[in-house]
Amino acid sequence: MKKKLAVIKDYFFITIGAILMALGIGVFLIDAQVVPGGVSGLSMAVHYLTGNRIPVGLMIWVFNIPLYIWGIKELGKRFGARTFYGFTVSSLLIDFFHGDIPGFHHWALNRSEAILDLRQNDFLFLILLGAVLLGVGIGIIFKFKGSTAGTDIVAAILQKRFGIKPGQAIMMTDFFVISFAGLVIYLKDLSPDKPALSLTLYAFFLLFVSSRLIDVILDGFDYARSAIIISDRHEKIADEIMNRLSRGATAIKGRGLYKNIDRDILLTVVQRKEISLLVEIIREIDPGAFVTIQNVHEVLGEGFRRRI
């Protein structure tokens, strides 16, 4: 029963992610002619090449089918039902929100007064909104074990066959796609208001913002700090951590190589707002203590909230 609920939860959030991704592309980016990387960007380039006759979502789905089959053949069932569901739902919703599905033209949110006003008077904010929706949407899909297929599959296969790191493969692919789309816009003179080079630079900016947001969704915001404390007065520091901060601390046996002395090393995790008090405690007790502090993205245990 728990497994079924977990699967339902995953598909629910993959759907939410697909909706956000589709809003970002279908409402904010297609008509702005600022392309994301990967299959989505390539599909938008084809959309422009054909005089906007072929819907972007349909092209994304068509491009992803052979990649999906190739991925299953090369990588096994890793790219299974969730991947197919992810890129199918997002493709359908992109065309739905862009008004490209027959009978649903009135749902074309890209033609609303607010979007038209942003495109005309606040283009940068329009692109930022598109980047946020795209990045958060893809991040949610990844977070719940889904995939948008496309360059994810290409990157995984290139890593397997040639040892190319996935990040490098995706970056090279996105650079090529964005440059190709910019060339299409330039040659067909699709944007009289903005030079093709400007739109290409916007696209690279979009790529940077959405990529960072994907990382934030997957890793989370830094909401805790871990500290490693090396001090001759570790017992007193540990007592203060437990009494004044109401946090636990773990003593790890270690040996200082410089003085060849055995000592306990303290490890503790505190919330961000508590880090200044922790540093104050250490300075009061042992100003010469050696301390390192690291960002922590997730903590599982008593006293800390758990991520979704």
- The answer as to whether 228 is a domain residue is yes
- CA distances to 45, 107, 129 from 20, in Å: 21, 15, 11
**One domain, residues 234 and 152:** no
**One domain, residues 131 and 55:** yes
Task: Show which of 157, 191, 219 is a domain's final residue.
Answer: 219
pLDDT at 17: 93
Q: Which residues on adjacent β-strands are paired with residue 271?
A: 224
**One domain, residues 171 and 97:** yes
pLDDT in tens, 99-128: 999 888 888 888 899 999 999 999 999 999
Sheet of 224-230: strand order equals: 250-256, 261-271, 224-230, 290-296
pLDDT at 48 over 60: yes
Work out the mean pLDDT of the chain and round it to a whole number.
85
pLDDT in tens, 32-47: 999 998 899 999 999 9
Percentage of the chain beyond pLDDT 90 is 40
**One domain, residues 108 and 73:** yes
Collapse the DSSP code of 256 into the 3-class scheme (helix H, G, I; strand E, B; otherwise coil) and give the result.
strand
- The answer as to whether 113 is a domain residue is yes
Task: Show which of 200, 219, 238 is a domain's final residue.
Answer: 219
pLDDT at 271 over 90: no
pLDDT at 138: 87
Task: Show which of 219, 242, 263 is a domain's final residue.
Answer: 219
Q: Which of 14-18, 91-95, 104-108 has the lowest mean pLDDT?
A: 104-108
pLDDT at 115: 93
Q: State how beta strands 224-230 and 261-271 pair.
A: antiparallel
**One domain, residues 39 and 177:** yes
pLDDT at 217: 78
- The answer as to whether 78 is a domain residue is yes
Q: Which of 85, 114, 111 is nearest to 98 (CA)?
A: 111
The whole-model pTM stands at 0.76
**One domain, residues 16 and 127:** yes
pLDDT at 220 over 70: no
Please say whether the dihedral angle defined by the alpha carbons of residues 283, 288, 289 and 293, taken in this order, is positive or negative: positive
Q: What is the CATH number of the domain that holds 251?
A: 3.30.70.120
pLDDT at 130: 94
For residue 18, count other CB atoms closer than 10 A to its CB: 26
Percentage of the chain beyond pLDDT 70 is 91
- CA distances to 104, 107, 156 from 99, in Å: 6, 6, 34
- The answer as to whether 141 is a domain residue is yes
Q: What is the DSSP code string of 5-63?
A: HHHHHHHHHHHHHHHHHHHIIIIIITTTT---SHHHHHHHHHHHHTTT-S-HHHHHHHH
- The answer as to whether 25 is a domain residue is yes
pLDDT at 219: 64
**One domain, residues 240 and 201:** no
The number of domains in the chain is 2
pLDDT at 192: 67
- The answer as to whether 258 is a domain residue is yes
**One domain, residues 194 and 244:** no
CB 135 within 8 A of CB 213: yes
**One domain, residues 24 and 95:** yes
- The answer as to whether 308 is a domain residue is no
Can you give the residue range of the structural domain that contains 87? 2-219
pLDDT at 307: 54
**One domain, residues 139 and 169:** yes
- The answer as to whether 306 is a domain residue is no
**One domain, residues 64 and 198:** yes
pLDDT at 132 over 90: yes
pLDDT band at 30 (very low <50, low <70, confident <90, very high): very high
**One domain, residues 169 and 247:** no
Long-range (24+ apart) CB contacts under 8 A made by 63-70 are 63/39, 63/150, 64/39, 64/91, 64/149, 64/150, 67/39, 67/149, 67/150, 67/153, 67/154, 68/149, 68/153, 70/153, 70/157
pLDDT in tens, 146-165: 778 787 777 767 767 777 76
Q: Which of 197, 192, 218, 175 is nearest to 36 (CA)?
A: 175
